[in-house]
Amino acid sequence: MTRARTTTILLAALLAATIAGCAPQPDPAATGGGAAADCAPGALPTLAQGTLTIGTDQPVYPPWYLDDDPTSGRGFESAVAYAVADDLGYPRDRVTWVRVPFNAAIAPGPKTYDLNLTEFSITEERRRAVDFSSPYYDVRQAVVALKTSPLARSTTVAQLKGARLGAQIGTTSLEQLNASVAPTTPAAVYNTNDDGKLALSNGQIDGLVVDLPTAFQIVGSDLPEATIVGQLPAGWTPEQFGAVLDKDSPLTGCVSAAVDRLRERGTLAALEQQWIQADGAAPELR
């Protein structure tokens, strides 16, 4: 082979490489979780190789988890967690659970879990510290009152304005109470929903605002003498629960894709129907 021919071949190869390098390339960020190979079933870059570690608070309550036992698969979030894990290629025997306090779970810094399901509302403020998956539950807020209270017969938001209402501090329930109802008497604020339930049963407030699943739990077992007055208007955007992951976790895209598939298949709707009573039992307040 002559030197001239060798030079021609090298120049052609260099030109081809240059053209290839200039061609449009797939954007890994467009999938939200890297290339499809990154989501190979059962082979994700989890904290413990071959195992998916899921976190939740302690204690946890129905209808999210039954008997404070997330491993049972009973309760909406427990069932969703196992459904997500299975979709990702991790059957139940390859799932482990850890308990993490609510506030610690969404604080900046390394996590002891791969994903966490503890009724975390997706907010922009929280997104600055952690990642969220696609939402797996759309939440509505509801008003609970004693059956003997005049408030129990309310059918409109306007009828709530003059009532003594309360909610837990730092919650979407309190935010929506103030935004949607704007009561004439400032809302009573409680450290926990248990404190609010006690105030309701003692007659210190007329109504307690909580998320709808918690409202069903209150009237179903905690305070049988109470009833759900109705749901507050949904507003511009619903409150949504998402799984929490470490900030910029390589798993975020894969978990979101799994949640999306469960929604498309109707799995999330079926689990919601199984573990959370239908909205028909709580009319919307107009």
How confident is the model at residue 236, as a pLDDT? Answer: 55
Residue 130 identity (one-letter amino acid): V
All domains of the chain, ordered by start, with CATH?
A: 38-138+240-277 (3.40.190.10), 141-231 (3.40.190.10)
Rounded distance, CA 284 to CA 286, Å? 6
Q: Is 159 exposed, middle or buried (0-12, 13-18, 19+ CB in 10 A)?
A: middle
How confident is the model at residue 15, as a pLDDT? Answer: 37
Distance of CA 227 to CAs 197, 220, 262, 273, Å? 12, 9, 32, 20
CA angle 167, 168, 169 (to 5 degrees): 115
pTM over 0.85: no
Spatial CB neighbours of 124, under 8 Å, sequence gap ≥ 6: none
How confident is the model at residue 9, as a pLDDT? Answer: 37
Nearest to 223 by CA among 167, 163, 144, 281: 144
Structure tokens at 209: 């605002």
Residue with tokens 């797996």: 136
How confident is the model at residue 32, as a pLDDT? Answer: 36
The list of the chain residues with pLDDT below 70 reads 1-37, 235-237, 277-281
Q: Which residues pair with 137 in a beta bridge?
A: 241
Alpha helices (H) in 55-192, listed in sequence order? 76-87, 102-105, 124-127, 172-176
Structure tokens at 36: 């499809």
Q: What backbone phi and psi angles, to 5 degrees, belong to 250?
A: -70, -10
Do the bridges between strand 165-168 and strand 188-190 make them parallel or antiparallel, or are there none, so unpaired?
parallel
